[in-house]
Amino acid sequence: MTHGALRPLAPWRVLARTPLLERRYLRVVQDHVRLDDGREIDDFCLIESPDWAAVLCVTEERRIALVRQYRHGLGGVSWELPAGALEPGEAPLAGARRELLEETGYASDAWEPLLTASVDPARVVARAHFFAALDCRLVAKPSLDATEELQTELLTREELLLLIDRGELQHGIHLAAVLLAVRKGLI
């Protein structure tokens, strides 16, 4: 694929930053920015939240562990990979291992990076780090946070692909990670 000579794109210059909302896992700021050509935008909002990690968990029996949980933004139940926010200073792989164990009780000695992606490059600062955990085994009971209510389901490859075909796996970035794992032959 040839695009010819791509001209460099300069980052926007932040002239002022005003915090609008601050919570434990969420900060919204309004930036006044100057573009490279001199134009200014005085009300560009960014959403800051911690990076997070998610796990494509494949058991020794070749089943894929998904979690089902209510998601208020969706207004319904969502099928997802086990995932959660990284703690301050926590490496993505360490967070992935912790989240998998906490949410499902599964662990693995065979991990590989799958994908790091922006959640929404226009407005969200966080990145999502996806890992494949292979030959997972159940080692503990899930240890959920006080606000978590989820169910772990073990699916075959065919059942997972059927969920995708029916539009039931709706978390876009999780969907991208699953399809990449299929392409790589991990499931």
The pLDDT tens digits of the residues spanning 106-147 come to 999 999 999 999 989 999 999 999 999 999 999 999 988 888
Q: What does 43-63 look like in DSSP terms, one character per residue?
A: EEEEEE---EEEEEEEETTS-
Same domain? For 67 and 35 the reply is: no
Question: Are the beta carbons of 55 and 114 closer than 8 angstroms?
Answer: no
Alpha-carbon distance of 155 to 21, in angstroms, equals 39
Q: Give the number of domains in the chain.
A: 2
Same domain? For 62 and 88 the reply is: yes
Note the pLDDT of residue 1. 61
For residue 163, tell me if it sits in a domain: yes
For residue 121, tell me if it sits in a domain: yes
Same domain? For 171 and 88 the reply is: yes
Same domain? For 133 and 58 the reply is: yes
DSSP H or E segment with residue 158:
helix 157-165
Average pLDDT of the residues in 152-169: 95
Average pLDDT over all residues of the chain: 94
Alpha-carbon distance of 23 to 32, in angstroms, equals 22
Same domain? For 27 and 66 the reply is: no
Where on the phi/psi map is residue 101: left (φ > 0), alpha (ψ -120 to 50), or beta?
alpha
Same domain? For 102 and 128 the reply is: yes
Note the pLDDT of residue 147. 83
Which residues span the domain enclosing 165?
A: 52-183
Note the pLDDT of residue 148. 83
Same domain? For 19 and 42 the reply is: yes
For residue 23, tell me if it sits in a domain: yes
Note the pLDDT of residue 33. 97
Same domain? For 29 and 108 the reply is: no
Overall size of the chain counted in residues: 187
Same domain? For 17 and 107 the reply is: no
Same domain? For 74 and 44 the reply is: no
Q: Is the pLDDT of residue 77 over 80?
A: yes
More confident residue, 3 or 26: 26
For residue 6, tell me if it sits in a domain: no
